[in-house]
């Protein structure tokens, strides 16, 4: 095996994956296994496929998260925060609790088990592409001290909360950027991705809630939706040694959607981001 191959491999590395039972998480587990990782999968339900080490967790319940993290013996080299729900479930506070507050609680509980050289990657969304425009609105949620404080903040700010989905995914991006420096001081990298429309169970939630037309109206410069395996590959890259100098970034895995939007703004003579 050559040096380049070794950069992509996970031999001897322990990886934790939330949302392992389906969609992008399932494909991350399958690819990690092929690359030699020792995988610990977490979800609310057991995967239908074989997974040697599975633990249940409810990311809306801090006590469940604490039990799950305590159950992990030894160190963790790579964390994949993939579990999430869409606005289709119709409960904005629960969406924020699972997508951001639970993710944050899980990450911060697990970091103590992560040595220098380890890494974290989380899944945001194309829906968060305007995160720069909403820094002031999202920052107070980032500043909350606990899940309970975060839920209370959401209850007091219904206009900012909205459906919960965009807010939760913007918070993931800003949390990633905010933590690049403090985690970097410990030798830990942190990044996130912004998937475009991807064929997962979350897409089924959206179809049920809003209809196929809602999905068809989202621009797709490549002319198709993403397969979950395509999203998984980028997540594995970001937590691999091949990405050893990448931290604090959001990588848009959206088939060109964000780039096309910026190009349209340039053509219209508008600044492509707030100045």
Q: Give the active site residues.
A: 165
> DSSP of 79-101, one letter per residue?
EEE-----GGG--HHHHHIIIII
Tokens of 245: 């100098």
Q: How many residues does the chain have?
A: 275
Give the β-pairing of 54-56 and 14-18. unpaired
Contact indicator for 113, 128 with CB cutoff of 8 Å:
no
Please, are residues 229 and 27 in contact by the beta-carbon 8 Å criterion?
A: yes
Is 21 exposed, middle or buried (CB count within 10 Å of its CB: 0-12, 13-18, 19+)? buried
Contact 51, 19 (CB under 8 A): no
* Three-state DSSP state, 69: helix
CB-based contact 178:137 (threshold 8 Å): no
């Amino acid at each position: 095996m050559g040096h380049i191959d070794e950069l992509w491999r996970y031999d001897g590395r322990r990886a934790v994956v939330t949302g392992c039972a389906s969609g992008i998480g399932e494909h991350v587990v399958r690819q990690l296994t092929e690359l030699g990782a020792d995988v610990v999968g977490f979800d609310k339900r057991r995967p239908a496929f074989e997974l040697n080490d599975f633990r249940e967790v409810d990311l809306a319940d801090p006590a469940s998260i604490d039990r799950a993290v305590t159950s992990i013996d030894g160190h963790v080299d790579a964390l994949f925060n993939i579990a999430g729900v869409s606005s289709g479930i119709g409960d904005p506070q629960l969406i924020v609790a699972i997508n951001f507050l639970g993710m944050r609680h899980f990450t911060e509980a697990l970091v103590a088990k992560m040595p220098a050289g380890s890494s974290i990657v989380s899944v945001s969304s194309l829906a968060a592409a305007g995160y720069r425009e909403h820094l002031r609105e999202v920052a107070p949620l980032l500043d909350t001290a606990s899940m309970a404080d975060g839920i209370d903040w959401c209850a007091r700010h219904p206009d900012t909360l909205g459906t919960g989905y965009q807010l939760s995914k913007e918070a993931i991006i800003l949390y990633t950027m905010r933590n690049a420096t403090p985690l970097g001081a410990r030798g830990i990298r942190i990044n996130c991705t912004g998937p475009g429309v991807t064929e997962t169970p979350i897409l089924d939630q959206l179809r049920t809630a809003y209809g196929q037309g809602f999905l068809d109206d989202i621009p797709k410069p490549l002319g198709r939706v993403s397969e979950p395996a395509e999203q998984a590959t980028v997540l594995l890259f970001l937590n691999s040694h091949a990405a050893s100098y990448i931290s604090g970034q959001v990588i848009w895995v959206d088939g060109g959607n964000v780039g096309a939007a910026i190009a349209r703004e340039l053509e219209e003579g508008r600044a492509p981001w707030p100045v």
